[in-house]
Amino acid sequence: MHSIAIAGMGRMGANMALRLAAKGITPVVWNRTPEKAAALADKGVIPAATLTELFSKLTEPCVVWMMLPAGQPTETLFLGLLSLLRKGDMIIDGANGNWHDAVRRSEKAAEMGIDFLDAGVSGGIWGLEKGYCIMTGGTETSFRKAEPFLKALCQEGGYMHCGGSGAGHFTKMVHNGIEYAMMEAYGEGFELLKASPFGDIDMAELASVWNRGSVIRSWLLELAQNAFDKDPKLEKVEGVVPDSGEGRWTVEEAARLGVPLPAISVSLFKRFRSQMKDDFGDRLSAALRNEFGGHEVTGK
């Protein structure tokens, strides 16, 4: 079996390293701030303070799984790894990155005889305990080399070779677009329940009931129940919903390919709206109502 390193000890990367260790695979771990890697030294992993040290602790051929934020952090790490890796080694990109970047990186790695997989990783903070769901893109040969690690990380049947380079990140992009729309649908439904004449319905209990035989049962609904159990009226939560990029890319690809995605598109724009304070467009609408109809305008 190839030896493996995980580069990036954020919540996902650290938990993936710990799950590998729990499955009998000892990963070498590295982080841009070495303290995060060192803190896991007594948990069945091998910390490395630098990338050079990381490679000194790996046997040939090796796999390095990148789990840094998408964009420049991952690009910087990728280029750094290319300067250290040997022919026959492998890079797996587990960031929520744009699939076009995966295609480009795969081509660059291939020029140096280095295998490359793009891996869309889902499971969040529960992946350590429950196992992850991982979608991969790349060659069949690269997939098979990585399969022992995928099997250790995932739930049974929870990983897949989706196609050529970029397919893993493209599939994860669509996965997250669907997630956006599902979250929006649950949010709207519970909003209507709250506004109804029966607004004192126990939301946590209802979520639990819906998860027992209902056609809308899901893990997201289980998480909704958890959230209501902790804070029944969600009074401790601010209604700002960031978007990390995948929803935007999903809508952009749909526009490019001429595929209608009304629900996913609306859920993306709703997230944009949640991030706006004192929206200029709303102020103009209020001013226009005053201009044409004399409707009252509420000042600041």
pLDDT digits (tens, 9 = 90+) for 252-291: 999 999 999 999 999 999 999 888 887 788 887 888 788 8
Do 130 and 191 sit in the same domain of this protein? no
Do 31 and 131 sit in the same domain of this protein? yes
Do 112 and 223 sit in the same domain of this protein? no
- The rounded percent of the chain whose pLDDT value lies above 90 is 81
Taking 50 as the threshold, does the pLDDT of residue 203 lie above it? yes
Q: Tell me, what's the pLDDT at 81? A: 94
Containing structural domain, residue 101: 3-164
Taking 50 as the threshold, does the pLDDT of residue 77 lie above it? yes
Taking 70 as the threshold, does the pLDDT of residue 2 lie above it? no
Do 201 and 247 sit in the same domain of this protein? yes
Residue at 289 is within a domain: no
Section 191-214 average pLDDT: 94
Residue 1 — very low, low, confident or very high, per pLDDT cuts 50/70/90? very low
User: Is the CA virtual torsion 126, 127, 130, 135 positive or negative?
Assistant: positive
Do 228 and 141 sit in the same domain of this protein? no
CATH, residue 255: 1.10.1040.10
**Of 43, 139, 37, nearest to 92 (Cα)?**
139
Q: Tell me, what's the pLDDT at 63? A: 96
Do 68 and 203 sit in the same domain of this protein? no
Residue at 206 is within a domain: yes
Q: Tell me, what's the pLDDT at 74? A: 95
* Domain total in the chain: 2
Distance between CA atoms of residues 121 and 144, nearest Å? 17
Q: Tell me, what's the pLDDT at 300? A: 57
The one catalytic residue in 145, 172, 184, 253 is 172
Residue at 288 is within a domain: no
* Structural contact between residues 94 and 66, judged by C-beta atoms closer than 8 angstroms: yes
Residue at 182 is within a domain: yes
Chain segment 30-69, per-residue pLDDT in tens: 999 999 999 999 999 999 999 999 999 998 899 999 999 9
Q: Tell me, what's the pLDDT at 283? A: 83
Do 192 and 221 sit in the same domain of this protein? yes
User: Which phi and psi angles does 237 have, rounded to 5°?
Assistant: -110, 130
The one catalytic residue in 53, 75, 179, 222 is 179
172 in active site: yes
Chain segment 95-134, per-residue pLDDT in tens: 989 999 999 999 999 999 999 999 999 998 899 999 999 9
Neighbours of 295 (CB within 10 A): 11
Do 98 and 133 sit in the same domain of this protein? yes
Q: Tell me, what's the pLDDT at 194? A: 93
Residue 158 — very low, low, confident or very high, per pLDDT cuts 50/70/90? very high
Q: Write the single-letter amino acid at 235.
A: E
Section 158-165 average pLDDT: 97
